[in-house]
Structure 1
Amino acid sequence: MVTTTRLGGAAALVYQELMADIADFRLLPGDRFTETDLSHRFGASRTPIRDALLQLKRDGFVDVRFRSGWFVCPFDFQRFDELYELRMTLEVAAFERLSRAEPEIRLAALDHLDAIWIIDESARETEPRRMTELDEGFHSGIVEAAGNREMAIIHREITEKIRIIRRLDFFKDARTAATYREHGELLRLLRRGALSEAIIMLRAHIEASKLEVRKITLHMMHEARLGATKS
């Protein structure tokens, strides 16, 4: 994870584990815990625990109240809107850069993604966590292939911050099917060099995902936690 490069050793591991807990619905908005709880769980001293929590607070995932302890933050839908807008700006720029890249670079990136997304329906992934990983890989793969390392770093940070809501998306069969269909069409457009059409479709693709965010409820997250536990 990009964020943990600002942490060292045990603090980075605690950060990663707590991020995984949030993304996998083991910790939901409003859930509370103490530094002592985490110290016992991880077998770590209070210093790395506190460092990890403070970084999570800076990243907007948790907060703390005097005498109430730490808690997972409620969803900030305005923040998610802004993150999606920034993501769209970066990915449109990546599409433009990739269209100008050397053919062997562009085609190598597309060949790799074709093998994942342009496949028979019977071979498609259906498990939400794995679908999230594949979806992130598609978008980050395009950005990385565009060749701007700083752009790729920022894009990965945004990806980390919206991971939980993207995973909720893939508990819906219709959204999974739409992702395969739209990713496949985006790859075909990029291969043909139809940049304008590809950008129009990319904007619509990300906007549809952004609109789904507003439909999220805590009940949906509890159901997702139950589904993840069963799987």
Structure 2
Amino acid sequence: MATTSKRKESMADRVYEALKDDIFEFRLIPGDKFSEGDVGTRLHASRTPVREALYRLQREGYVEVLFRSGWQVKPFDFQQVEELYDLRITLERAAMHKICALSEEPSAIRMLTAIWNPDHPSERAVGSTVRALDESFHCDLVAAAGNREMTRIHREITDRLRIIRRLDFTRDDRVDATYVEHAAILEALRNGQASEAADRLTHHIRASQKAVREITMERIREAAAAHRSGQQIASQDA
């Protein structure tokens, strides 16, 4: 019995990861509709693990169930994204002031400085590694301020923004800018310049926000065009 349960759980995890990857890579674009049967057939999975995976994605805000119509990739709510960015900036600016008010420099600041001030450009991270490091940079800064509730709320916002923030590192110029801007923020913090650090941080986040919105819209347009092209080819073959 336990073996069967583990097998189902493992299949649900595989379906979850496959669907999430489809959403992140825009193979499933915002607004796309599908049924549990479609997913099961494509991923060779039974109904139970498919449903478990979909409910998990629903809880995380990636898909939504449609009354008697299956499922849908949740459309982007850009107003909500703007509001989440506003809240994120508010929390991170407050963290800058709290860090500068501490009697001792947090060890996290020294560790982050080592990461974002490499001795040579060849030591910079790439791809998914730089995405993970960027997320850790912002989360570690907030955590260094020492307010657990602030840290918790910031982590929740980070989770909700991850689907679009990851696109900020698909262009080399944005990776270069991230290293320069992170280093400037850390320099201001280490000099005790709370307002300067907060202003640099705000500029950095707003630039990233603008870039990911542009990239998101571009990727959605490209994916939608590919969908239409595929449908036309399928129609002609039929």
Specify the alignment match of 1:185 in structure 2. 184
Q: Structure 1: any 5+ residue segments left out of the alignment? A: 1-8, 225-231
- The structure-2 alpha-carbon separation of the partners of 1:190 and 1:12, relative to structure 1 and needing over 3 Å to count, comes to farther
> What does 1:186-201 align with in structure 2 at a 5 Å threshold?
186-201=185-200
Cα pair 2:16 2:56 within 8 Å, conserved: no
Moved more, 190-199 or 66-75: 66-75
SS at match of 2:205: helix
- The structure-2 alpha-carbon separation of the partners of 1:190 and 1:86, relative to structure 1 and needing over 3 Å to count, comes to same
Deviation sequence 1:172-212 (CA, Å, 0-9, x none): 11111110000001111111111111111111111112222
- The structure-2 alpha-carbon separation of the partners of 1:51 and 1:148, relative to structure 1 and needing over 3 Å to count, comes to farther
SS at match of 1:196: helix
CA distance in 1, matches of 2:221, 2:10: 30
**How many equivalent residue pairs?**
212
Cα pair 2:185 2:200 within 8 Å, conserved: yes
CA distance in 1, matches of 2:13, 2:164: 23
Q: Which amino acid aligns with 1:110?
A: I
> What does 1:204-215 align with in structure 2 at a 5 Å threshold?
204-215=203-214
Q: Which amino acid aligns with 1:88?
A: I
CA distance in 2, matches of 1:161, 1:180: 23
Specify the alignment match of 1:98 in structure 2. 99
Specify the alignment match of 2:24 in structure 1. 23
1:126 deviates by 2.9
CA distance in 2, matches of 1:102, 1:29: 47
Specify the alignment match of 2:121 in structure 1. 121
Moved more, 215-224 or 182-191: 215-224
Q: Which amino acid aligns with 1:98?
A: I
Moved more, 163-172 or 67-76: 67-76
Structure 2 length as normaliser, TM-score?
Answer: 0.75
Structure with the greater relative contact order (CA < 8 A, sep ≥ 6): 1 or 2? 1
Deviation sequence 1:47-92 (CA, Å, 0-9, x none): x654553454354321222443212122111011011001101111
Percent identical: 49
Q: Which amino acid aligns with 1:57?
A: Q
- The structure-2 alpha-carbon separation of the partners of 1:155 and 1:12, relative to structure 1 and needing over 3 Å to count, comes to farther
Cα pair 2:35 2:70 within 8 Å, conserved: yes
> What does 1:36-115 align with in structure 2 at a 5 Å threshold?
36-38=37-39, 41=43, 46=48, 49-50=50-51, 53-54=54-55, 56-104=57-105, 106=106, 108-115=107-114
Structure 1 length as normaliser, TM-score?
Answer: 0.77
Q: Which amino acid aligns with 1:175?
A: R
The answer to whether structure 1 residue 161 and structure 2 residue 144 are counterparts is no
